[in-house]
C-alpha cells in the first residue's frame, strides 16, 4: 500500500465570512461522507486535521531565523486541512476526492516518501 496526503486547498475566508451556518453544516456533512466513502472502499485514513485560519500561521523564510506572522505566500487559496490516507488504488482515491471538490474546495494528492526510499 502507498500512503498519500490529501491536501485541501481553498478560500478559508469563504467558510467563515460568506457561507451561512447551514452551508457550513452541509459542507461538513460532505467531508464526513468523504471519510465514510474512503473507509467503505478500502482506503485507510491514518490521520488528518482541519487547520485554523491562515491568519494564525507563523512563517520562517528559507535561510532565515526570523519568524513572521501569516502564511508563507500571499494567495487567495490556502491549505485548510489534510487527510493522510493509505491506499492501493490511487484512481479510486481521486474519485472519492471529488466529494470534496463538490463542496468548492480544491484537492492536491501527493504520495508520501517511504523512509526506505531515503538515501542512507
- Band (pLDDT 50/70/90 cuts) for residue 73 is low
Tell me the whole-structure pTM to 2 decimals. Answer: 0.86
What is the b/e burial string over 17-27, where b = at least 16 CB atoms within 10 angstroms of the residue's CB? eebeeeeeeeb
State residue 102's pLDDT score.
Answer: 94
Domains, the chain, ranges and CATH?
2-114 (3.30.70.1060)
State residue 84's pLDDT score.
Answer: 98
- 42 grid coordinates: 478500502
Helix (H) or strand (E) holding 111: strand 106-111
What are the residues whose beta carbons fall under 8 Å from the beta carbon of 67, sequence distance 6 or more? 58, 59, 60
* Residue 100 pLDDT exceeds 80: yes
Judged by average pLDDT, the poorest of 8-22, 30-44, 49-63 is: 8-22
- 118 grid coordinates: 531515503
CA distance 84 to 78: 18
Select from 37, 40, 38, 14 the least CA-distant residue to 27.
Answer: 14
- 49 grid coordinates: 486535521
Amino acid at each position: 500500500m502507498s500512503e498519500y496526503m490529501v491536501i485541501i486547498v481553498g478560500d478559508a475566508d469563504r467558510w467563515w465570512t460568506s457561507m451561512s451556518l447551514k452551508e457550513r453544516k452541509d459542507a461538513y456533512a460532505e467531508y464526513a461522507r468523504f471519510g465514510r466513502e474512503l473507509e467503505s472502499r478500502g482506503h485507510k485514513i491514518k490521520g488528518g486535521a482541519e487547520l485554523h485560519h491562515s491568519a494564525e500561521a507563523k512563517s520562517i523564510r528559507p535561510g532565515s531565523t526570523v519568524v513572521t506572522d501569516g502564511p508563507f505566500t500571499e494567495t487567495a487559496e490556502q491549505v485548510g486541512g489534510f487527510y493522510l490516507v493509505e491506499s492501493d488504488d490511487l484512481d479510486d482515491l481521486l474519485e472519492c476526492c471529488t466529494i470534496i471538490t463538490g463542496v468548492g474546495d480544491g484537492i492536491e494528492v501527493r504520495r508520501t516518501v517511504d523512509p526506505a526510499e531515503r538515501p542512507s
